[in-house]
Structure 1
Amino acid sequence: MIVWLNGTFGAGKTTTAKELTALLPDARILDSEYVGMMLRHVLGSLPVDDFQDWPPWRGLVVETAAQVHAYVGGTLVVPQTVLVKAYWQELRTGLEKAGLPVHLVLLHADDDTLRRRIDGDTVEAGARQWRLDHLAPYAAALPWLRPAADTVVDTAGAEPRAVAERIAAAVRA
């Protein structure tokens, strides 16, 4: 199974992924950002705003998930923002065709909470403006994101462990 944690930057995807893997048996994080980083070395001369715009990223994420799952089994938790509906549909369809059921979780927080978290992030402080610039596209994507999600969790004011417990319960149901 794939548990895909979607939501914008500051929603808590990375923190929740770590908590969630501790709650689900044989779960591990598959960070699809690394696929994008690898492609930057190969496709860097083809400018895009986001590596998700490269079709090979989407195909390689699906293939990587399928290969890793075939090798280790269990649950793969993917903490990755996807704000383009067509990209999400391509990913979900590809994963399901590979025999991997997908549980899409939308981690949501209000704009003030997101801005506070982004401003307070000391780990990826260099990405602050890029993250802030994606709040408007996130808001624009909510009309398709909410209905597409199997589970929606408001992370504002919620402890990461409680968020992960809610997701674990939804995945087990």
Structure 2
Amino acid sequence: MIVWLNGTHGAGKTTTSALVQQLIPDSRVFDAEKVGETLMDITPGLPETDNFQHWPPWRPLVVETARRVLDYAGGTLVMPMTVLVETYWREISAGLAQHEIPVRHFVLHADQDTLRGRIEGDTVMGPSAFRLAYLEPYAEAARTWLHKEAEVIDTTHLTPPQAARQVAESLRS
């Protein structure tokens, strides 16, 4: 099984995923961003882009890597990864379904002011124009398709442990 934690930068995906992993027996975190980083290491050779998700190999590589890890290790993969392009999500979820891998899709949501404050106040990564640039695309995806495709957990007033507990409780029910 895959527990996919979607949402934009500042929603708490990375922190929450590590906590969810602690709450779900036989689970491990697989950050699909590592697949993108591998592709970025290939450059030059791939077209210029502001987001590795736009490279067509990224999506099937995420599916294949997840499938191979599950075939090898079993259990549950907790995947913190923002996917805001509907066609990309459909490609990934269809690929996982083709391999009969169940996916529980969650969106960690927070209001725009909270997200902006978290990004601007990030003491680890620092303020990031790249991360701030995704606030509006996230809002658009949330309005048009994303919140209909997932269980939404509003993290605006939640700590990461509280959000992780909500994910784990939802998985148990």
Fold match (TM-score > 0.5): yes
- Any unmatched runs of 5+ in structure 2? none
Deviation at 1:44, TM superposition (A): 3.9
Query: Unaligned 5+ residue runs, structure 1?
Result: none
Structure 1 pair 3–44 and aligned structure 2 pair: CA distance change class (3 A): farther
What CA deviation, in whole Å up to 9, does each residue of 1:38-91 have, x standing for no partner?
A: 001224441112100011100100000000001111110110000000000000
1:114 partner amino acid: L
Q: How does 1:134-149 map to 2 (within 5 A)?
A: 134-142=134-142, 143-149=144-150
Partner of 1:96: 97
Which residue type is aligned with residue 165 of structure 2? Answer: E
Query: What is the distance in 1 between the residues matched to 2:154 and 2:138?
Result: 15
The equivalent residue for 1:154 is 154
What letter is aligned with 1:90?
E
Matched, 1:41 2:41: yes
Give the aligned partner of residue 15 of structure 2. 15
**Residue number in structure 2 paired with 1:74:** 75
TM norm structure 2: 0.95
Tell me which residue corresponds to 1:61. 62
Would you tell me which structure has more helix in proportion to its own residues? 1
Change (3 A) 1:98 1:44: farther
Partner SS state of residue 55, structure 1: coil
Distance 1:16 1:105, change over 3 A: same
Aligned to 2:120: 119
Q: Per-residue CA shift, 1:19-49, capped at 9, x if unaligned?
A: 1000000111001111001001224441112
Aligned residue pair count: 171
The one-letter code matched in structure 1 to 2:171 is V
1:109 aligns to 2:110 (yes or no): yes
Identical aligned residues as a percent: 51
After superposition, the Cα gap between the structure-2 partners of 1:43 and 1:100, relative to the gap in structure 1 and judged at 3 Å, is farther
| C-alpha distance in structure 2 between counterparts of 1:123 and 1:166, whole Å | 25
Report the Cα distance in structure 1 between the residues aligned to 2:15 and 2:44, rounded to whole angstroms.
Answer: 29
Runs (4+) off by over 2 Å: none
1:92-124 C-alpha deviation (Å, 9 max, x unpaired): 110111121000001000011001100111222
Distance 1:92 1:43, change over 3 A: farther
Greater mean alpha carbon deviation, residues 37-46 or residues 128-137? 37-46
CA distance in 2: counterparts of 1:131 and 1:88, whole angstroms: 20
1:161 Cα offset (Å): 1.2
